[in-house]
Amino acid sequence: MSALKLVVVTAGLSVPSSTRLLADRLAEATARDLRETGREVDVRVVELRELARDVADNLVTGFPPPALRDAVRAVEEADGIIAVTPIFSASYSGLFKSFVDVLDRDALTGKPVLVAATGGTARHSLALEHAMRPLFAYLRAVVVPTAVFAASEDWGANGADGSLAGRIARAAGELAESLAGRPAAPRARTAEPEQVVPFAQQLAALRAH
């Protein structure tokens, strides 16, 4: 059976980034759970900070540069998505939303998605429910029940239920369960070159009839 393709979209702006750290923890837990069920998984991280200029250029010109085109293709061909953004002013970041705007409107239809976010205070946690979840519902993705928010103080919590570690484990388990029974998405094939029939030949064929 082919390996599942798990794509992690992370919109952290700093280096190092708590957003990237949360994304990595979620990806590791999901991959571990999948492998325990006998499914192999390939994990690809799309770091939006590295694509910020390309995203802006695409929104203005309508033409994605090669790196952005490759990232969009990875999302389109993924079996499952982990989407993680920092929260600014009680919503997802502008960079995160701009990348979503670049995607085809049907790119995420039916795909399992785990949504997560980071912020300086737990007061931002509701952004997952009033902003992130409706966004992916609009795109017809299948969002797993548990969304994960990590405030600054969460990184020191222990692994008990209700802690960050416990929430990561629960959300990753839900995503892994959604993916475990799915056939892997077909690998992209190189399109066969289309045979071009000269116009004169097409006209001759019409006259013959």
Range of the domain at 162: 4-208
Alpha-carbon distance values, 126 to 10, 42, 67, 137 (Å): 19, 31, 33, 16
CA-based end-to-end distance of the chain: 50
Given this model, what pLDDT does residue 153 score? 84
Enumerate the H helices of 2-65 as residue ranges.
18-36, 52-61
Q: What is the pTM of this model?
A: 0.83
Given this model, what pLDDT does residue 189 score? 47
Given this model, what pLDDT does residue 127 score? 92
Structural domain count, the chain: 1
Mean pLDDT, each 10-residue run in order, the chain (209 residues): 93 91 97 94 97 95 94 97 94 96 95 95 87 96 96 68 84 95 59 51 62
- Domain CATH code at residue 15: 3.40.50.360
What 32-40 contacts at long range (C-beta under 8 Å, 24+ apart), as own/partner pairs, is 32/172, 33/172, 33/173, 33/176, 33/177, 34/4, 34/6, 34/176, 34/179, 34/180, 37/176, 37/180, 39/1, 39/3, 39/4, 39/179, 39/180, 40/1, 40/2, 40/3, 40/4
Given this model, what pLDDT does residue 60 score? 93
